[in-house]
Structure 1
């Protein structure tokens, strides 16, 4: 098991772009559910607005993470200002 956290931050004022590509992104992400421990939007402090995405993938190697990122409709649409990937080790619970 090799876990990776992907954190994506939307470009400013990109909610319309996010919403226009949301269904394609969700359809794409569903194809990865066998490798995805969790995923969902990052929200504003008031919980009203989506501002990015966070996913935890359990994959063989970093190349699979890069493949996920390269083909995600959100990324292809230019939604993200930044994308970070970090290896993760689950300790608790």
Structure 2
């Protein structure tokens, strides 16, 4: 099952994001190697600075998706004001649908 992790940064926490980014990228690369990560990227503010994240993962259930979200170095660094974890159905342009 796919889950969208919709993460909103705390205001004024750009330096927290930048400091945790190498560990975050390593975490996502590991998820990608395991086939768990489907895609990810930052949301941008009006000045094109990152202010949140969209991460789509495959997980067995909501609890497993939350465990992965909690393990993200960004989450551990206290970057996020909120994380919404929602089941998601990839319909259009899904490479798995050939």
Q: Is the structural similarity TM-score above 0.5?
A: yes
If each structure's strand is expressed as a fraction of its own residues, which one has the higher value? Answer: 1
Listed one character per residue, the Cα deviations across residues 27-85 of structure 1 (whole Å, up to 9, x for unaligned) are 11111111111001111244x20000101112222232112112111111100000001
Which residue does the alignment assign to 2:19?
A: 20
TM-score between the two structures when normalised by the length of structure 2: 0.85
Given the two structures, how large is their TM-score scaled by the length of structure 1?
0.90
Please tell me whether the aligned partners of residues 8 and 80 of structure 2 are also in contact (alpha carbons under 8 angstroms). Answer: yes
Please report how far the alpha carbon of residue 19 of structure 1 lies from its aligned counterpart in structure 2 after TM superposition: 0.3
Structure ranking higher in helix proportion = 2
Alpha-carbon RMSD across the aligned residues, in angstroms, is: 1.2
Aligned to 1:35: 36
Could you list the runs of 4 or more consecutive aligned residues of structure 1 that deviate by over 3 angstroms after TM superposition? none
- Gap regions ≥5 residues in structure 2: 94-98
| Larger displacement relative to structure 2 (5-14 or 37-46) | 37-46
